[in-house]
Chain A
Amino acid sequence: MTVLLTFNVIELDSAGQPRGPGAPLEIDETGTISFGSSTERNIVLEGELVSRHHFDLTVSDSRVMLTDQNSTNGTQVNNMRVGLAELGQGDVIEIPGWRLEVTSLSFGVSQTEATVSPQGFPHDVFGDDTLVDVGTLHSHGYPVEERKFCAVGGGLGSFTFVDHLRCYGVSASDIAVIGTEKVSYATYKRYCRDSQIPDHERLRSNSLSTPDNIWGFPGYASREAFGGLLRGRLGGFKRVFQVFGEPTLAESYTPRAGDVFDSLDREERRIDWPAMHRQGQARCIRKLSDGRYAVAYTMRDPSVAEADRRRIIIADVLHLATGYPATRFVDDFQTFIVNYPDHRHMVHNAYAPHDQIYDAAEAANGPVYVVVRGRGIVASRIIQRLHEARKRNPQITILHSMRSKLDPTSGARFGRARRQVRTNIEIQPFNWPKSCWGGDLRFEYERADVAKRGAMLTTLGGTTTAERSDWIEIIERGTEEGWYKPVYGSIREILPHDDSPDKVMIRVEGEGGHRAELIADYLVDCTGLISDITRSSLLNDLIETYALPRNHAYARNGDGFEKRGPTGLDVTPDFEIEGLRNQRGRVYASGTVTSGGPYLAVDSFLGLQYSALRSTDHLVTEGAHGVKNLGPLRSAGQWLKWCRGAKP
């Protein structure tokens, strides 16, 4: 026996309540187990809302991974909708009508079995070698595809990199992309929707941060203005004035989510994204003996036969942009979910689907107390959404939980400047000071040594929200009318309320040990996602196999800054992972997997474009992979093609 995984499988009624104590399910062998409503699945879970093939569990001798199979209603692990997640003891999988609790999980190899090497894809191809002999790759019978460039991730990070390659003149037939989602913005859009930014709402992004256009021109503001003009409306010119006046004369312009997604659709078609894209999950990456790399992946494409889904791509250059791996909640939140599964509907992470609380709060015929935790942009948006809900139920009260009071002069300081504070919240148009993207702070940070980088990272980062007059007005009016109350202090514990089981009790400890208890109907945690790249088995395997160095977080400690836990992968200013160099072969990365590195704003549209530009230029400079420079004339020529919608 190498593994023992046991579940308690509980059927739920339409209100999400357990129908009974549940039934045990035991898995004691490695391999892939499929779940869904079709009788072809290994485990059949009946229900109208269950997809025929809902999710898979891949059990190896060291970990259990859950992969959602593009199910219609999604798979949640610990209340977070996931595409891919690693399971641990105490985790709770939920799909409509069913809850599966991981009651135990243990890995153990007995003496007799220890000599048997783990079987299955891709270990059967790669073995234990860090440098795989290219000659043996073809002998295993899996389809092998050879390309010059391969982008792993398939999200916006992969897209911006591939868009640069294409605009620099690389042919689509030289590029392959591996991604679990069909369109590049699918994951991003899901996060937007869950954090209450539907298509008609605006993103916190600049007009000229255009992931569909490598030049940043024309920006979304002028496109909106001219689009409006074509439909006979002049209102769009307000947007142009915003860009002109921001942030001094007007609020900063931000584009509508739907407009950004439409523009990405157009660019995907223009650069032949569908032809380059392989829908699947990258499993493992290895250096090859001839200076290239092999990426083993499993296809997700339902039109491909099960037996034919395991494949290998060989490429000269790789790009890794896998985004947030399995996301993790803050500890107190996680503890509550595990200890009180029956009360889970009361606490939600703002990035996970939680529409039901607004529906329930609106429908309630009495007072509803909602604790909103955190003071970032998502908290602002959630408060705005609750304010909208108050139109249906005026008895909704917002308790805004913040660590400490912030008076107008206690904003972060850097150099001779100080961050503005309004209504206890630090104000900043975007998630980093603007000059981190391309101004003097970018240069200063790139040149800084590790200690100074830590200081800058800590000081310039931090939670901020945008200065929106409607948000400030909601808080001011709510304070005046008594339905918005700030609560200061750290949350110490979240518990079900003893006397009324449909309420949650939140213990808060303020400065000077002052304690308070909040009794509420719901808690919406807006403190964000914790990105731990080792939760991605692909990245963790790379880090372990090639001993890749990591960046580190920093925290203020008295007057200085101290090093904290590891964050993203260490990359060069060109976003190359140097530890993966293989003769002429190069591996680049972008996005959140590189956080804490030589660039602050990696996790943004413009940051992704910056990294893509650096990496593509690096390929040009090295001259080994046939990427031609994009000088002024070629650049203008490519831009004209973009304007005409012609292929690059």
Chain B
Amino acid sequence: MVQGGETMIPTLAGRIQTRLLLFVLLGIPLTALFSWLWLPLYWDLLFLFLLTVLATVTGFGLIMDVVYIGLQRLRWDRDWPFAYQFFFSIVEFAVVLWAARAGLIPWLPADVLAGTEGLIMASSHFATVFIPSFLALLGPISVFFIRWRFKAGQLGKL
């Protein structure tokens, strides 16, 4: 008679698909909006740059997903609490930002992200994309993709 459940609990395929879904549906348009507001004159250049940053963070996240799945299997419920999701998303961004500023990522010129200005811009952009994406995970994705929560974050039929 007892009840239970949780919103989406991801598998590896589900993590990858959800990440790409959020990148396309929220990441690209929000990056364009942010670039246009931040630097109206050269928004297209900024857009391409920030999209590259976001793609790098997403790519790094896809690699990390393998690690997360491993950790998940150690948990009895095999779940991934929202708090972990929140924390590790910020860690992923911080690692990429640090590496780029240190000149370790060839396709991300360190000088664009240098100094306090670069830090503020990158962080503001990340927050603009991350907060709506995180909120979308809490339920709104199900409004469009009703099977998503039962399919461990994958799209399509059950």
Residues of B within 8 Å of A428, CB to CB, are 76-77
Q: Check: B2 CB closer than 8 A to any chain A CB.
A: yes
B4 within 8 Å of A (CB atoms): yes
Nearest chain B residue, comparing its CB with the CB of A604? B3
In this complex, which of B2, B73, B86 has the most chain A Cβ atoms within 10 angstroms of its Cβ? Answer: B2
- With the chains together, A535 CA to B10 CA distance in Å? 39
Which of the segments B27-35, B106-114, B124-132, B135-143 contacts the partner chain? B135-143
A392 at the interface (CB under 8 A from B): no
Q: Which of A191, A429, A636 contacts B4 (CB 8 A)?
A: A429
Q: Does A482 lie at the interface of the complex (its beta carbon under 8 Å from any beta carbon of B)?
A: no
Tell me if A613 and B158 are in contact (CB < 8 A). Answer: yes
Q: Which single residue of chain A is at the shortest CB-CB distance from B9?
A: A439
> A635 near B143 (CB under 8 angstroms)?
yes
- With both chains docked as a complex, state the minimum distance between the C-beta of A255 and any C-beta of chain B, in angstroms: 9
Q: A244–B86 contact, CB under 8 A?
A: yes
Q: Which residues of B contact A368 (CB under 8 A)?
A: none
Task: Please provide the chain A residues from 526 to 552 with a CB less than 8 Å away from any CB of chain B in the complex.
Answer: 529
Contact B146 A214 (CB under 8 A): yes
- Docked complex Cα distance between A192 and B152 (Å): 30
Whether A525 sits at the interface, judged by CB under 8 Å, is no
A430 touches B11 (CB 8 A): no
- Give the residues in chain A near B86, CB-CB below 8 Å: 244
In whole angstroms, how far apart are the Cα atoms of A417 and B76 in the complex? 5
Task: Chain B residues near A610: list those with CB within 8 A.
Answer: 150
- The answer to whether residues A416 and B9 also contact, given A430-B2, A613-B147, A617-B157 and a CB cut-off of 8 A, is no
User: Which of A134-142, A175-183, A203-211, A334-342 is near enough to bind chain B?
Assistant: A203-211
Does residue B145 face the partner (Cβ distance < 8 Å to A)? yes
User: A435-B78, A617-B158 known; A204 and B4 CB under 8 Å?
Assistant: yes
Closest to A608 in B: B3
Q: How far is it, in angstroms, between the C-alpha of A428 and the C-alpha of B5 when the chains are bound? A: 11
Separation in Å of the A32 CB from the closest CB of chain B?
31
CB of A209 within 8 A of CB of B73, answer no
CB-CB under 8 A from A431, the residues of chain B are 2-4
Contact between B81 and A247, CB atoms less than 8 A apart: yes
A419 CA / B75 CA spacing, docked (Å): 9
Residue contact B143 to A217, C-beta cutoff 8 Å: yes
- In the complex where A243-B82, A439-B152, A610-B150 touch, is A216 in contact with B139 (Cβ < 8 A)? yes
Q: Which of A78-86, A297-305, A440-448, A512-520 contacts B (4 or more CB under 8 A)?
A: A440-448
**B10 / chain A contacts, CB cutoff of 8 Å:** 439
- Binary interface encoding of chain B residues 58-78 relative to chain A, with 1 for a CB under 8 A from any of its CBs, else 0: 000000000000001111111
Q: Is A306 an interface residue (CB 8 A)?
A: no
A465's nearest neighbour on chain B, judged by CB, is: B2
Q: Is the CB of B144 within 8 A of A632?
A: yes
Contact assessment for B77 and A433 in the assembled complex, using a CB-CB cutoff below 8 Å: yes
- Give the distance to chain A from B85, nearest Cβ to Cβ, in Å: 9
**B15 CB to nearest chain A CB (Å):** 11
Q: Which applies to chain B's interface (DSSP): helix, strand, loop or mixed?
A: loop
Q: Which residues of B83-111 have CB atoms within 8 Å of chain A's CB atoms?
A: 83-84, 86
- Indicate whether B8 reaches chain A with its CB closer than 8 angstroms: yes
In the complex, which residues of chain B have a beta carbon less than 8 angstroms from the beta carbon of A218?
139
**A418 interface contact, C-beta 8 A:** yes
B1, B4, B81: the one contacting A351 at CB < 8 Å is: B1
Q: Is residue A377 contacting chain B, with contact meaning CB distance below 8 A?
A: yes
Q: A377-B2, A617-B158 are in contact. Are A245 and B81 (CB under 8 A)?
A: yes
CB B89 to nearest CB in A, in angstroms, measures 13
CA distance A418 to B76 in the complex (A): 6
A606 partner, pick from B4, B73, B74, B82, beta carbons under 8 A: B4
Q: Are A216 and B158 in contact (CB under 8 A)?
A: no
Interface: B117 (CB within 8 A): no
Known: A206-B5, A244-B86, A438-B150. A216 touches B142 (CB 8 A): yes
Most buried by B among A377, A440, A607, A632: A440
From B77, B81, B139, B151, A435 is in contact (CB under 8 Å) with B77
| Interface pair B1/A191, CB less than 8 Å apart | yes
A114 CB–B CB distance under 8 Å: no
Is B7 an interface residue, CB under 8 A from the partner?
yes
Which B residues are CB-close (under 8 A) to A247? Answer: 77, 79, 81
Complex: A443 Cα to B153 Cα, angstroms:
12
Q: Which of B73, B140, B152 is the one whose CB lies under 8 Å from A417?
A: B73
* CB–CB B79/A439 < 8 A: yes
In A602-639, which residues have CB < 8 Å from any B CB?
603-607, 610, 613-614, 617, 621, 630, 632-633, 635-636, 639
Interface centre among B4, B81, B86, B140 (most CB of A within 10 A): B4
Measured CB to CB, the closest approach of chain A to B122, in angstroms, equals: 25
Does residue A473 face the partner (Cβ distance < 8 Å to B)? Answer: no
Which residues of chain B have C-beta atoms less than 8 A from A561's C-beta? none
The CB with the most chain A CB atoms within 10 A, among B1, B11, B84, is that of B1
A635 near B1 with CB under 8 A, answer no
Query: B6 is contacted by which of A195, A208, A441, A639 (Cβ under 8 Å)?
Result: A208
- A50-93 contact mask (Cβ, 8 Å, vs B): 1 or 0: 00000000000000000000000000000000000000000000
CB distance from B86 to the nearest CB of A (A): 7
Whether B11 pairs with A439 at a CB distance below 8 angstroms is yes
Check B3 against A435 for contact (C-beta < 8 Å). Answer: no
Whether the pair A617, B147 counts as a contact (CB closer than 8 A) is yes
- Tell me the smallest distance from the CB of B88 to a CB of chain A, in Å: 13
CA A443 to CA B151, docked complex, whole Å? 9
Please determine whether A443 and B152 come into contact, CB atoms closer than 8 angstroms: yes
Q: How far is A502 from B42 in the complex, measured between Cα atoms in Å? A: 89
Cα distance A617–B81 when bound, in Å? 29
Q: Are A209 and B152 in contact (CB under 8 A)?
A: no
Q: Which of B78, B83, B138 contacts A249 (CB 8 A)?
A: B83
A205 in complex: contacting residue of B5, B11, B79, B82, CB < 8 Å? B5
B4 and A430 contact, CB distance less than 8 A: yes
Query: Does residue A248 face the partner (Cβ distance < 8 Å to B)?
Result: yes
When distances are taken between beta carbons in the complex, the residues of chain B under 8 Å from A603 are 1
Q: Inside 8 A of A419's CB, which chain B residues have their CB?
A: 76
In the complex, chain A residues whose CB is within 8 Å of the CB of B157 = 617, 621
Q: Does A488 contact B (CB under 8 A)?
A: no
Q: Of residues B6, B143, B158, which shows the largest number of chain A Cβ atoms within 10 Å of its Cβ?
A: B6
25 example contacts (A-B, Cβ-Cβ < 8 A) are as follows: A191-B1, A204-B3, A204-B4, A205-B3, A206-B7, A208-B6, A216-B7, A216-B139, A217-B140, A219-B7, A247-B79, A351-B1, A414-B76, A416-B73, A417-B78, A431-B2, A435-B77, A437-B5, A437-B6, A437-B9, A438-B9, A439-B79, A440-B9, A443-B152, A603-B1
Residues of A within 8 A of B (CB): 188, 191-192, 195, 203-206, 208-209, 214-219, 222, 243-249, 351, 376-378, 411, 414-420, 428-435, 437-443, 529, 601, 603-607, 610, 613-614, 617, 621, 630, 632-633, 635-636, 639
